[in-house]
Homo-oligomer: A and B are copies of this chain.
Amino acid sequence: MHHTRREADDVRMRGFAQRHTVDAALAWLDAQLQPLTAEIVSLPFAAGRVLAASVASNVDVPGFDRAMMDGYAVISDSTEGASAYTPLQLEVVGQSMPGCPFRGVVRKGEAIRIMTGAPMPDGTDSVLPAEWIGVEADESGTNVSSPHVIVALAAVSPGKHVGKLGEDITSGTTILESGRVLRPQDLGVLSSIGHGDVQVVRRPRVRLAVTGNELLPSGMRPRGFCIADANGPMLAALIDRDGGLVDFPGLVKDDRDAILKSLHSDADIVIVSGGTSVGIEDLAPMLVAQYGELAVHGIAMRPSSPTGLGRIENRIIFLLPGNPVSSLCAYDFFAGRAIRVLGGRSKEWPYRAVCGRLNRKISSPIGRLDYARVTIADGLVEPLAVTGASVLSSTTRADGFVIVGEDSEGFPAGAQVEVWLYA
């Protein structure tokens, strides 16, 4: 048994026997992913959420014909022949305000003062805009809504400046399709048809287990041989960005039981940071293999090679390397994708891509995908000279990154490349 352990350790110390391609890892991952079930949220919390079911209206919006301009509601016939040279008198017999309509019936030769949005009075079919009227020299009225006479300086045709019942939304119409990421104006439309809440895809619960006995919790100053946790705050913000609900109860010791407890937490996704390689101290991969399926371990990419993907029961497990750049890169390639898809979103990166010209070559061996941090200014792309996956500040100095695919040896200076912009 001791013998066996030594052998196992030596194998591990020598690295991964075989690395999966990124494509193979993604193929396994994508087969695990489907959107979660729905939940109901009220509109003030619905922006940016993903609609879980299409929404049809069962009301007309507006529910009545309404004025589209301030002016006078009339029977259009009453204005026939009116012009600046041949003004036609109309008697103002009332007013219609939004929410407070004129209740009578309007006859030819009469006009109802009306505000934009107010219901069209019975009998009227058009609005004579305020700009097209003159006022008779009748200054006796002290109430603007009391009867007085105006003159029409132009004719209006039937339906002019009238918004018809249902012109915005007709009852029975599907107004928003399932899967849509809700925009601010969508909330307005939902509200206008009487919805105060909406069915959206549940946000994936993501347990974040940041391991490493050398780590101090965020907020503590690094001292001696201890370093302050960088991955916890970073990963929590990434999970939130991708629509996940972060469960990050604190650092986890490099201890079998502590890690196992995290792996069995009540979550849709568990992300373990650190201790994911092939050393005997790397407990998480062994535990995933023992209690579930370690489907992918070791990926042909740099950084992030010691990444693992697996399942335990219904939970998808991501083992992200402790080096912070590896952690960011592996998150973006695998964990973020899963969080987005479970939450009903696109599997694509939330980063915007721009093109630029390399001012220096990027080399990368065939058979390995490389994640090269770059700056870009005036379309000129400069790779950062960085030594390794531990220099997190390279990802704050960088504007984004360039991906060199596994079947490429890189790009020569002067090549046009696609840059994925951070933030």
Binding site for B on A (CB under 8 A): 2-3, 5-6, 9-10, 13-15, 42-44, 46-47, 59, 61-64, 66, 68, 70-71, 97-101, 115-119, 130-131, 133, 135, 139, 141-142, 144, 163, 167-169, 175-176, 181, 183-197, 212-215, 218-238, 240-241, 277-281, 322-324, 328, 352, 387-388, 390-393, 395-396, 422-423
A-B contact pairs, 28 of them (CB 8 A): A2-B142, A6-B139, A13-B133, A46-B237, A59-B221, A59-B222, A61-B227, A61-B393, A63-B223, A98-B225, A99-B212, A99-B213, A100-B225, A101-B225, A117-B323, A117-B390, A168-B392, A184-B237, A185-B234, A185-B392, A188-B231, A188-B233, A188-B392, A191-B219, A192-B392, A194-B228, A195-B219, A196-B219
Q: A271 CA to B168 CA in the complex, in Å?
A: 24
State the Cβ distance, A5 to closest chain B Cβ, in Å: 8
Q: A240 CA to B100 CA in the complex, in Å?
A: 33
Q: Are B225 and A119 in contact (CB under 8 A)?
A: yes
Known: A227-B63, A387-B167. A233 touches B44 (CB 8 A): yes
Q: Are B240 and A117 in contact (CB under 8 A)?
A: no
Q: Are A144 and B219 in contact (CB under 8 A)?
A: no
Q: Shortest 9 CB-CB distances between A and B: which pairs?
A: A196-B219, A99-B214, A188-B234, A194-B221, A184-B237, A98-B214, A188-B230, A13-B130, A47-B237
Known: A213-B100, A393-B168. A222 touches B192 (CB 8 A): yes
Which residue of the partner chain B has the closest CB to A161?
B388
* Extra inter-chain contacts (12) besides given A44-B237, A117-B390, CB under 8 Å: A3-B139, A15-B130, A97-B281, A99-B215, A115-B281, A167-B391, A169-B393, A183-B237, A183-B423, A184-B238, A187-B237, A192-B392
